[in-house]
Structure 1
Amino acid sequence: MSAKSFSIPIRILPEDIDFMGHVNNSRYLNWVQDVVLQHWQKLAPAEEVASKAWVALKHEITYRKPAFLDDDVIAETVLEKIAGARSFYNTVIKRGEDVLAEVQSMWCCIDSETLRPARIDRDVAEKHFGIARKQTPHTGD
């Protein structure tokens, strides 16, 4: 079973452009957040979407090429693995075949009511995202 990728089109706005005439680097983080959250909302069961929220723990971005105002850009993400309440995503931002940026990010799933870390159910990870949750020896997950 392979992980299910998900992509969204990116609309570049005039306010995204910096003094050098291309998209400001900070906008890429917004795009990563948008695609990761939409990925969860699209693939997870409604009860999981309603009961869980996400916070970013870490982003590592490699910028390859700049994006400009009239570019057709997409952000494509894949949930690579889940370990406890942490999820590891790989996101690629592209213009056609050109890779503009690659982003490795780690997210923490939290319970929407308690705001405490929450594990993703193994069944949800396998059936809806196409990945097996990493097993932790002390819990037998």
Structure 2
Amino acid sequence: MSSNAAFALTIVVSAADIDELNHVNNAVYLQYVQEAAMSHWQHVATKALQDEVVWMVRRHEIEYLRQAVLGDTLLIKTWVGQYTAATWDRHYEIYRASDNRLLVKAMSVWVPLDRQTHRIKRLEGALLDSFLG
């Protein structure tokens, strides 16, 4: 894990998350990691910054290691990694709380946009400080 502090979110697997194989649908894990990323952003950013910036995913990579099933409590850890002037890598690990088994490893590349113009914002100042401060 990165030296940047990890943020954790707990989710309980619901019936809507389950596919015909009776485990969490692979696409649902992407919803989980996006929810964790947004929760982390809301936790670290000021209201003014949240009103100014919206994040867009440029790329997802996901590795499925084990399955989660209905009723499992999942712990999703996320942290930011390397960044450029306009992109930020975000990492995720999803664990089953009952046995602390790692189920999923993922990484996304996020791009900050100006909420009004939808133009890319540079990663500088308060935007950087929100996660690194």
Distance 1:73 1:28 in 2: 11
Q: Count matched residues.
A: 130
Whether contact under 8 Å (1:85, 1:110) holds in the other structure is no
Where structure 1 has 5 or more consecutive residues not aligned to the other structure, the ranges are 132-141
Q: How many angstroms does 1:122 deviate by?
A: 3.7
Distance 2:132 2:102 in 1: 24
Alignment-derived partner of residue 52 in structure 1: 53
Alignment-derived partner of residue 106 in structure 2: 103
Distance 2:72 2:35 in 1: 18
Q: Normalising by the residue count of structure 2, what TM-score does the alignment of the two structures yield?
A: 0.90
Give the counterpart letter for 1:8 in structure 2: L
- State, as a whole percentage, how many aligned pairs show the same letter: 29
Pair 1:117 & 2:95 matched = no
Where structure 2 has 5 or more consecutive residues not aligned to the other structure, the ranges are none
Cα deviation 1:47-92 (Å, max 9, x = unaligned) = 2111000111101000000001111101110011221121100011
Distance 2:11 2:111 in 1: 24
Distance 1:95 1:118 in 2: 36
Alignment-derived partner of residue 26 in structure 2: 25
Give the counterpart letter for 2:105 in structure 1: E
Alignment-derived partner of residue 128 in structure 1: 130
Whether contact under 8 Å (1:74, 1:93) holds in the other structure is yes
Whether contact under 8 Å (1:8, 1:74) holds in the other structure is yes
Whether contact under 8 Å (1:85, 1:108) holds in the other structure is yes
Q: How many angstroms does 1:128 deviate by?
A: 3.1
Distance 1:105 1:11 in 2: 22
Distance 1:81 1:4 in 2: 14
Secondary structure at the aligned position of 2:7 is classed as strand
Q: How many angstroms does 1:121 deviate by?
A: 2.2
Secondary structure at the aligned position of 1:54 is classed as strand
Pair 1:9 & 2:5 matched = no
Give the counterpart letter for 2:106 in structure 1: V
Pair 1:79 & 2:80 matched = yes
